[in-house]
Amino acid sequence: MTGTLVNAGTSPVAPVEAAGSGLAVRDLKVFYGPVPAVRGVSLDCRPGEIVGVIGANGAGKTSLLSGIAGLVKTTGGSISLDGRDITRWPAHRRGQAGVVMVAERRRVFPSLSVRENLAVGGFGLDRGEVDRRVQSMLELFPRLRERERVPSFRLSGGEQRMVSIGRALVTGAQCILFDELSLGLAPRIVAELTGVLRALADEGRMIVLVEQYIGVLLRLADSVHVLERGRIRFAGPAQESAQWLEHHGYLAHAGTAAAAQEAAEART
Amino acid sequence: MALFVSALIIGVSLGTIYGLMAFGMVASYRISKVVNLGQAGIAAFGASVYWWMSSQWGAPLVVSLFGGVLVGGVLGAILGYANLKLANRAKGLVMIFTLTVTLLLFAWVDLIIPAYNITPPSPFGQGGFNFQLTFITYAQIGTFATCIAVVLVTTWVMRMTRFGMFVRAIYDDPDGASTVGIPLGVYVVGVWAVAGGMAGLAGILATSRVQLDSILLLFVMVWGLAGAILGGLESFALAFVGGVSLGVAEGILGGMLGGDLGPGLENLSAILIMAVGVLYAGTKRRHLAHLQT
Amino acid sequence: MIRTDDAAATGRTEGVAASPPVTDGAATAAALASPTGALSAVLRRMRVQTRLVLPALVIAGGTLSFFLLPGHLLYAGSTALVAGIIGLALFLPIAALREMPLNAAGLAGLGAYLYANVASSGGVGNVLLGGLVAMAAVTGLSVVGGLASLVVTGLYFVVASLVLQIGIEKVIFSIPGVTGGAAGEAVPQPVLSGWFDTQRAIFLVVAGFALVVAVVVWAARRSRFGYHSVLVGHVPEGASAVGVRNWLVKLMVFALSGVLIGVAGCLFSFINGTPPGTQSFILIISVLYVAIPIASGLRDLSSVWIVAAAFTTIPIVLEPLRLSPSFLAGMILLVALIVGDRREWVVEQVRRLRNRGASDDPIEVIAEFHAAPVPVAAAVNGGATPTVASGPSIEVVGRRDTSAGTVAVAASAPAIAGTSALEGREITVDFGGVRAVDAVSVRVAPGQRLGIVGANGAGKTTLFNALTGFVPLHHGRVHLGDRDISGWSSFLRARAGIRRTFQIPRLADMLSVEQNLLVGHGHGHGDAVERRERVSTLLDRFGLSALRGVPVAALPFGVRREVELVRALTRTPKVLMLDEPVSGLEDEEAEKLLEVLLDLQGKEGWGLLVIEHDLRFITQVAERLMVMEDGRLLVEGPINDVMRQEQVRRVYLGELVTAQ
């Protein structure tokens, strides 16, 4: 499974090994008019690392990711990738540099077929290379292969999720921003996707994962950030985060916390 | 019956011009969510370039036709670029800006066209043939065929090429498209250029039927917009069909009943269709509702 | 965006202290105590007068034109005034309702021709009758056009109004009896010679009408009707939520607009002697009329006259150049666009000029308001007067003293009518085949506090919308007490006492806090005074009194939430429904809101229904909790029991994925 990933992800931008300091976000602020969504968030993500961000609805998770991907205007702070300041870059330039966002739920191009959706990720590549990468995605997600020509609005939620992840991988992204990986998906699919995510990180990609569901996050993330009303309330390794979350009412029972910690440790 | 057929043919060839206009407006609306009212000005300017090249320079009609369309495309691209620069303004303001461009282009056309009542030569030549009892001009056939061909080619490009695929991706989800590295700006300019070319062509086809008159083209655009709105500014097929059916309604009522009902009333049916269509489409498509002033 | 940082605010403390807050009256004596205070008082008095500069300029311009201009230019002046009347007629639909009608020229033309047809018979009676006929017809047609705004909005409304314009242009104008007959007919004009000649007399008449129109529009804008129309145009749901009948307000705006355009149409015929040709009433001219209020910045009525004067006189001045009418129209529109687009900048420059030396910038007042060190506990408990110690900011701080408010609200609260519980039975809502809410029953009786939690898309807000009448029910009933209110419109439910807030506050941004609070169903029926009192005690209670006069647009998000909450409480509700009341609020703000809310609820005894994700807030506010998932009610019960349940942790806190 992971073998195909390496093939698919040959970066058009920079080889993974050469990656410098990774993604660094400093004091990022996002406002919608007067409405504050993100009020100064800093986080780092190094190659091979999965950074988890957790928070309730409206805590600013999606706005944070959109800010990093350049899809919303940031009102303050800075973002750098491998030492380059990308704060003022437009979204497509960040995409070409390898910062790609996988938006929550059904963010495929609904009228495009599965194959076309994946091929859109190959913008700027030659046709043969695109075909090769699309092919490897269809191998990675076998259930997409049988639905290759189907308009993607007909797909189930899980399949759409796979399409949007596949599309990001076809670009050869080095830094993938996942918004709500598990939202609306059956546990079995979530388990499948977490495996893919782990493999991606092990290849040296940077992954920022935003989740409302703590279990998924503690299972996957190397470090956890807790976002409350647009600010980071806690940042630390996944193992430590379980106690903090319990203490602050995110986990109702000691049992849950123990299970969470177990999950976090089991992974490492 | 013969009267009906000839009215129908007039309506259809008129309607395909509206449809072409509607097609261009949907294309530019979908990529930048701006109603492109510059189309009328571009049409007038393209038509005047065509007239200038064919009648003043004596260039062959086909060359002049391409000249007019090309100039339309260039103007469309400039308008698209300006639209990019105004991207963070309210869409309603940008729409009014495109209307301004139309008025200024009209003014320019008034400058270079010496007098009223100029009818550019039809690119399809004079004359026609009798089909049973109805006389059909080559211009009508040519207009119909050209518009259909342009629509088919555009549809093919959108369906089958990578360019078309990227455009459709942007239509579906601009954020998703830009995050995988597609530069939206280039595509916006490209699509507006194509829409401009269509406007130029529509202008040439419309003015060679009647006369080179900018107000006439303003109405061609308004009916085109009505057609586009009937399709919710989203569907190319519905927009084209909407434009054609408005033309047919106008042609049939104008041709068959105009004399009996008194002047002006031939427009009534088209106006009513448009009113009903707008109200219907407007209740269906709430997302277009928030036009900021 | 809004400078709330302490450093900036405290740095400016002295300046703010010297200048009284935006509320009028009060504090002048205190301010006069210091030299800077005296200066600022003088400046302040001047500021009041600078507000009158533009109107004074317009009136002076009109008067000077009347006395000095030669006849043919005075004719241009009359035309400008008529164009200005049309500009004002379009002001309300565009600025308040945010709908852009493209039929003003057609309507004015209709008025002109109808007037000419009747008035040409001569005699005062016919002139009056012609005016009435024209105004009635134009008003009627304008209302018909306005009907479209009940069904469609935005771009669709623009096109619908354009259809009306084309209809008038192509159908009505082509009936020979209307235009052909009228165009040649002479409309009675005063025949005078000497200095006070015909043109001067016409100008005087037109100016008289213009003055009346200006006063009417000015008064309408500042009336409750004006505020309602702004609310309806900007936040229609917010208007319904306070009991405003949206459709009626819209139609009234179009009726008023029609009356004014009718007046303008008659005047067109009057100043020309005969009605102008149909070329003066085509689509492009409609666009230019719309450009007048847009170019004037949609803010200031006086500038409409200036823009109208520019629009009409420039073409006349440039006539010798033989420019194309399209060119003129295009340039005018372009200028209108640039000016309209830069209006914020222009307004800012003007304000700077006015405020030189002293600050009554609402933003700074707010910065100060936030910097004021008021311990939350003290304010809420209504304990000892809160920290007056912070010296110069005493004015602002003093207004945050909430102790007085507590008592007043409690005393003035009318008793809640017996058993008026809000009850939804088996509520089911479909959106195009997707079931958003599926047979959810909910009941909240007076005095009860019920919380609703659930993930995004669980159907919480849709349930709110179904209860308040903002979405149609597919199945199920809604009762208030013994009354079945399932079929009631949202504004009727609001009037019946079901008050709500929205996730994003639906307030009219350009209106002040106080204006926002005084809109809505209720006063005018004799309880105006009582309502005003309640509003001011509530403002005190929430510590917002200092912000009364500040436009909502200048407020930070958290304060907007509070203002919306106060608005929902301006009439004592039976049930108060809050949709995520503390999201986007700072911790301290949330604490304060919680305290005040619980206190008021306890005293006044209404039912409370709250959607909220914030765990701490919901556990403190709710007695019972509903958990929703995928449109269904998962569990409902006393909050402590519910929080312990397995499904709740799954929905709310997340599930550990252990399956492999």
Nearest-angstrom CA–CA distance, C251 and C263: 18
Q: Which residues of C touch B215 (CB under 8 A)?
A: 282
Q: Given CB atoms, is A111 within the 8 Å cutoff of chain B?
A: yes
The neighbouring-strand residues paired with C452 are C611, C626
CA distance B286 to chain C (A): 8
Average pLDDT over residues C486-512: 88
Q: Given CB atoms, is C644 within the 8 Å cutoff of chain A?
A: yes
- Looking at residue A264, its pLDDT comes to 57
For residue C177, count other CB atoms closer than 10 A to its CB: 9
Nearest-angstrom CA–CA distance, C618 and C608: 12
Higher-confidence residue: B77 or C122?
Answer: B77
Residue A157 pLDDT > 70: yes
Higher-confidence residue: C72 or C217?
Answer: C217
Q: Which residue among C159, C323, C324 places its CB closest to the CB of B278? A: C159
Q: What is the pLDDT of residues B218-268, one digit of tens each?
A: 888 888 888 888 777 788 888 888 888 888 887 777 666 554 445 556 667
Highest mean pLDDT: which of A178-192, B223-237, C479-493?
C479-493
Residue C508 pLDDT > 80: yes
Q: Which residue among B169, B175, B181 places its CB closest to the CB of A112? A: B169
- Residue B186 within a domain: yes
Q: Which residue among C155, C175, C330 places its CB closest to the CB of B100? A: C330
Higher-confidence residue: C184 or C96?
Answer: C96
- Residue B127 within a domain: no
CA distance C2 to chain B (A): 20
In order of start, what are the domains of chain A with their CATH numbers? Answer: 2-267 (3.40.50.300)
Q: What is the pLDDT of residues C520-568, one digit of tens each?
A: 765 445 567 777 888 888 888 888 888 888 888 777 778 888 899 999 9
Residue B4 pLDDT > 70: yes
- Looking at residue B1, its pLDDT comes to 66
- Asked if A36's CB is within 8 angstroms of C649's CB, the reply is no
Higher-confidence residue: C444 or C616?
Answer: C444
Q: Which of A229, A241, A250 to mutate to test the interface with C (most CBs of C within 10 A)?
A: A229
Percent of chain A at pLDDT exceeding 90: 24
Residue B188 pLDDT > 90: yes
ipTM: 0.79
Highest mean pLDDT: which of B198-207, B271-280, C19-28, C586-595?
B198-207
The neighbouring-strand residues paired with B135 are B130
- Looking at residue C71, its pLDDT comes to 73
Compare all CA atoms of chain B with the CA of A101 and give the residue at the minimum distance. B179
Average pLDDT over residues C185-201: 79
- Asked if C586's CB is within 8 angstroms of A250's CB, the reply is no
Q: Which residues of B touch C94 (CB under 8 A)?
A: 293
Compare all CA atoms of chain B with the CA of C148 and give the residue at the minimum distance. B279
Q: Which residues of C touch A76 (CB under 8 A)?
A: none
Q: Which residues of A touch B84 (CB under 8 A)?
A: none
Q: Which of A11, A32, A68, A92 to mutate to test the interface with B (most CBs of B within 10 A)?
A: A92
Higher-confidence residue: C574 or B230?
Answer: C574
Joined tokens for residue C335: 């200028």
Compare all CA atoms of chain A with the CA of B158 and give the residue at the minimum distance. A112
Percent of chain B at pLDDT exceeding 70: 89
- Looking at residue A125, its pLDDT comes to 87
Q: Which of B54-58, B201-205, C19-23, C615-619 has the lowest mean pLDDT?
A: C19-23
Compare all CA atoms of chain B with the CA of C291 and give the residue at the minimum distance. B96
CA distance C403 to chain B (A): 43
Query: Could you tell me if C519 and C227 are in contact, meaning their C-beta atoms sit under 8 angstroms apart?
Result: yes
- Residue B128 within a domain: no
- Give helix then strand counts, H and E, for chain C: 31, 10
Residues in chain B: 293
Nearest-angstrom CA–CA distance, A107 and C640: 38
Residue C660 pLDDT > 60: no
Q: Given CB atoms, is A188 within the 8 Å cutoff of chain C?
A: yes
Please name the amino acid found at residue C179.
Answer: T
- Looking at residue C343, its pLDDT comes to 61
Average pLDDT over residues C130-144: 94
Q: What is the pLDDT of residues B72-123, one digit of tens each?
A: 999 999 999 999 888 877 777 788 889 889 989 988 888 877 666 777 888 8
- Asked if B180's CB is within 8 angstroms of A120's CB, the reply is yes
What is the gyration radius of the CA atoms in chain C, in angstroms? 29
Higher-confidence residue: C363 or C213?
Answer: C213
Nearest-angstrom CA–CA distance, C213 and C62: 15
Closest by Cα among B86, A202, A133 to A194 = A202
Chains with 3 or more CB pairs under 8 A to chain B: A, C
Please name the amino acid found at residue B104.
Answer: L
Q: Which of A61-65, A102-106, C276-280, C353-357 has the lowest mean pLDDT?
A: C353-357
Residue A15 pLDDT > 60: no
- Asked if C151's CB is within 8 angstroms of B267's CB, the reply is no
pLDDT tier, A8 (very low <50, low <70, confident <90, very high otherwise): very low
CA distance B224 to chain A (A): 25
- Looking at residue C449, its pLDDT comes to 92
- Residue B72 within a domain: yes
The neighbouring-strand residues paired with A209 are A52, A178
Q: Which of C152, C175, C471 to mutate to test the interface with B (most CBs of B within 10 A)?
A: C152
Q: Which residues of B touch A172 (CB under 8 A)?
A: none
Q: Given CB atoms, is A208 within the 8 Å cutoff of chain B?
A: no
Query: Could you tell me if A69 and A99 are in contact, meaning their C-beta atoms sit under 8 angstroms apart?
Result: yes
Classify the C-alpha dihedral A179-A185-A187-A193 as positive or negative.
negative
- Residue B233 within a domain: yes
Q: What is the pLDDT of residues C3-54, one digit of tens each?
A: 333 333 333 333 333 333 333 333 444 444 455 556 566 655 555 555 677 7
CA distance B131 to chain C (A): 33
Distances (CA, A) of C652 to A56, A205, B275, C165, C262: 9, 31, 49, 55, 60
- Looking at residue C131, its pLDDT comes to 92
Q: What is the pLDDT of residues B145-185, one digit of tens each?
A: 999 999 999 999 998 899 999 999 999 888 889 888 899 99
Residue B279 pLDDT > 50: yes
Question: How many Cβ pairs closer than 8 A exist between chain A and C?
Answer: 84
Compare all CA atoms of chain C with the CA of B293 and give the residue at the minimum distance. C98
Q: Given CB atoms, is C1 within the 8 Å cutoff of chain A?
A: yes
Q: Which of A261-265, B115-119, B268-272 has the lowest mean pLDDT?
A: A261-265
- Asked if C159's CB is within 8 angstroms of B271's CB, the reply is no
Q: Which of B269-278, C401-410, C442-451 has the lowest mean pLDDT?
A: C401-410
Q: Where are the alpha helices (DSSP H) in C496-556?
A: 513-518, 528-541
pLDDT tier, A262 (very low <50, low <70, confident <90, very high otherwise): low
Residue B38: domain span: 2-122+133-288
- Residue B250 within a domain: yes
Closest by Cα among C148, C147, C88, C137 to C109 = C137
Residue B212 pLDDT > 60: yes
- Looking at residue C39, its pLDDT comes to 58
Residue C75 pLDDT > 60: yes
Q: Which residues of A touch C583 (CB under 8 A)?
A: 57-58, 229
- Residue B293 within a domain: no
Q: What is the pLDDT of residues C150-175, one digit of tens each?
A: 888 877 888 889 889 988 988 888 87
In order of start, what are the domains of chain C with their CATH numbers? Answer: 6-41+359-410 (no CATH), 69-348 (1.10.3470), 420-653 (3.40.50.300)
- Asked if B176's CB is within 8 angstroms of A109's CB, the reply is yes
- Looking at residue B33, its pLDDT comes to 86
- Asked if B93's CB is within 8 angstroms of C326's CB, the reply is no
Q: Which residue among A56, A182, A259 places its CB closest to the CB of C614? A: A56
Q: Which residues of C touch A251 (CB under 8 A)?
A: 649, 653
- Asked if A111's CB is within 8 angstroms of B177's CB, the reply is no
Residue C83 pLDDT > 90: yes
- Looking at residue C51, its pLDDT comes to 65
Nearest-angstrom CA–CA distance, A85 and A101: 18
Q: Which of A232-241, C559-568, C584-593 has the lowest mean pLDDT?
A: C584-593
Taking each helix axis from N to C end, the angle separating B266-284 and B236-252, rounded to the nearest 10 degrees, works out to 160
Residue C392 pLDDT > 50: no
CATH number of domain containing B12: 1.10.3470
Write down the pTM of the prediction: 0.75
**Count: domains in chain B:** 1
Q: What is the pLDDT of residues A103-138, one digit of tens each?
A: 876 578 888 999 999 999 888 888 899 999 999 999
Query: Could you tell me if B103 and B40 are in contact, meaning their C-beta atoms sit under 8 angstroms apart?
Result: no
- Asked if A167's CB is within 8 angstroms of B180's CB, the reply is yes
Please name the amino acid found at residue C409.
Answer: V
Q: Which of B31, B170, B180 to mutate to test the interface with A (most CBs of A within 10 A)?
A: B180
Higher-confidence residue: C194 or C303?
Answer: C303
- Residue B33 within a domain: yes
Q: Given CB atoms, is A36 within the 8 Å cutoff of chain C?
A: yes
- Looking at residue C421, its pLDDT comes to 87
Where are any strands of DSSP class E within A47-144?
50-54, 76-81, 84-85, 99-102
pLDDT tier, C59 (very low <50, low <70, confident <90, very high otherwise): confident
Residue C361 pLDDT > 50: no
Query: Could you tell me if C478 and C484 are in contact, meaning their C-beta atoms sit under 8 angstroms apart?
Result: yes
Q: Which residues of C touch B262 (CB under 8 A)?
A: 174-175
Q: Which residue among A90, A112, A168 places its CB closest to the CB of B165? A: A112
- Asked if A112's CB is within 8 angstroms of B162's CB, the reply is no
- Asked if B291's CB is within 8 angstroms of C100's CB, the reply is yes
Q: Which of A53, A54, A57, A181 to mutate to test the interface with C (most CBs of C within 10 A)?
A: A57
In three-state secondary structure terms, B62 is helix
